[in-house]
Amino acid sequence: MLINKAYKFRLYPSKEQETLIAKTIGCSRFVFNRFLGQWNDTYQETGKGLTYSSCSAELTQLKKEFVWLKEVDSIALQSSLKNLADSFTRFFKKQNKAPRIKSKKNQVQSYTTKETNSNIAIVDNKIKLPKLGYVRLA
């Protein structure tokens, strides 16, 4: 049996870390909305949507076009693409409504990252996060 665990922490980032967190959330939203538009256009033209792998390959080209996408955690950008692909899969199975544009005005802003090669670790009262370094937590 596979058991997934999730933890919630209260973070106390420095000003620089707050800025980087805001950039990461903004970049994740940008990637989600851009590929949502491409996905909808492709679906209207061909009747079929895109795939996660095609979007992921295009994301590397997008990073060359928009250099500021390299400043943030790449796993967070991949996660937003994965969320988009999953939401379209659920939409086509008639489990959910069609995915909508992510808004900056939404009260709850977040991003998701994954633990790979021990890039996330808890040391004393700090958590080590990709690109952020050590952030105080409670």
Digit-coded pLDDT (tens) for 5-33: 887 889 999 999 999 999 999 999 999 99
Return phi, psi of residue 82, to 5°.
-65, -40
Question: CA–CA separation, 89 vs 21, rounded Å?
Answer: 29
Mean pLDDT, to the nearest integer, of 30-39?
Answer: 94
113 domain residue, yes or no: no
pTM: 0.88
108 domain residue, yes or no: no
53 domain residue, yes or no: yes
Predicted local distance difference test score (pLDDT) of residue 97: 92
126 domain residue, yes or no: yes
93 domain residue, yes or no: yes
Predicted local distance difference test score (pLDDT) of residue 115: 87
Number of domains in the chain: 1
10 Å Cβ neighbour count for 39?
21
104 domain residue, yes or no: no
109 domain residue, yes or no: no
Q: Residue 29: give the domain boundaries.
A: 12-98+118-137
62 domain residue, yes or no: yes
10 Å Cβ neighbour count for 78?
19
Q: Dihedral (C-alpha) 121, 11, 22, 60: value to the nearest 10 degrees?
A: 10
